[in-house]
Amino acid sequence: MKHILFTLALASVAGMANAQQNGHSYTVEGLINDSTLNGQTLYISRYDDGMKVDSTQVANGQFKFTGKADTPYFCRIDAGREYANFILEGGNIKVNVLTHNDPKGTPMNEEYSRMHDKTSEMVATLKSKHSEIEQQTKDKAEQLRLKKEYSQTYWHAAYTQLYKELFMNNPDNALGEYAIRSLIMSASPEEMEPIFATAGPWLKSLQTYKRIEKQCQAMKATAIGQKFTDFSGKAVDGSEVSLSDYVGKGTYTLVDFWASWCGPCRAESPHVAQLYNEYKDKGLTVLGVAVWDKPEHTKKAIKELNINWPQIIDTGMTPMDLYGVNGIPFIILFGPDGTIIARDLRGEAMIKKVTEVLNIK
């Protein structure tokens, strides 16, 4: 019964969303705690293309936008270090830049807030399970294995189903845009296929949709069992270098996508260093690939982290795009012939996997 009511609610929202397509007037208002922002200009920006669609000034700790929404879009307001996500549609919308994701006042925004609340509950459950696992065993590798098993078996499945239902009832509006952005964080390329097949013409016209579709294609092309996809960049000394200079040369190759500004990447560096130091003369090549980073920042981080294995730097976003990567660090293990053996390796689990593959006791 709960499932039926949930589905009917989503369908109702979808119907109301279509009714908003005719250019209804809107107001978007909220409060600002930072007094230094009084007199400053705020903008509504679309997530899809970054376009600023409206502006207003902060006065006495308040802001109010007014205009007309011909087509609802998933949008954002930045206010200093704070922000608010919402769907710009006809009606009176209230946002909170301190809580970020609980817009109120219109059908699509009420549904967006409800979905975010459910997601927050799921995240809290996930954190609780992680704490339970940490109490269950002190072995770091076993902790990571159990956490990954729980996430893949239960959490990701529930998360994916939640947003799949949202999308299927909103395949061509801003809620669908929000849903597909959420789905790509958990769904496999195979699970995304019915999403792509159901998407309507407006959604397919978005840059967001095209980027996600391309990302899934890249994930399929670089899945476990596929051969590596080559790309080029520069070595630390400025010379031209390619992935193929290291991968497919007869040794196992561990490739770490990272950036100087990425805290988790820095935290992962000691694990990569451990593998490099232990196995560099036993059939393992280690390679760093700096992505989405300025060369001067990368070089500085290399010195700070005492990295002494080869690097390809100044690659922009190309490696991430080619391998369908959502976030970093992202570490891939390639076989001697360049076949992808494992993706998204981290920490103790990575060390265990590499050790097993190299058959080193």
Positions in the chain short of pLDDT 50: 1-22, 361
Domain with CATH 3.40.30.10 in the chain: 226-359
Q: What is the pLDDT of residues 24-39, one digit of tens each?
A: 899 999 999 999 999 9
| pLDDT score for 180 | 98
| pLDDT score for 360 | 61
| pLDDT score for 13 | 44
Domain with CATH 2.60.40 in the chain: 25-105
CATH number of this structure's domain 25-105, picked from the four choices 2.40.10, 1.10.287, 2.30.42, 2.60.40: 2.60.40
| pLDDT score for 36 | 94
**HEC readout, the chain:** CHHHHHHHHHHHHHHHHHHHHHCEEEEEEEECCCHHHCCCEEEEEECCCCCEEEEEECECCEEEEEEEECCCEEEEEEECCEEEEEEECCEEEECCCCCCCCCECCHHHHHHHHHHHHHHHHHHHHHHHHHHHHHHCCCHHHHHHHHHHHHHHHHHHHHHHHHHHHHHCCCCCHHHHHHHHHHCCCCCHHHHHHHHHHCCHHHHCCHHHHHHHHHHHHHHHCCCCCECCCCEEECCCCCEEEHHHCCCCCCEEEEEEECCCCHHHHHHHHHHHHHHHHHCCCCEEEEEEECCCCHHHHHHHHHHCCCCCCEEECCCCHHHHHHCCCCCCEEEEECCCCEEEECCCCHHHHHHHHHHHHCCC
What's 226-359's CATH class? alpha beta
pTM of the model: 0.85
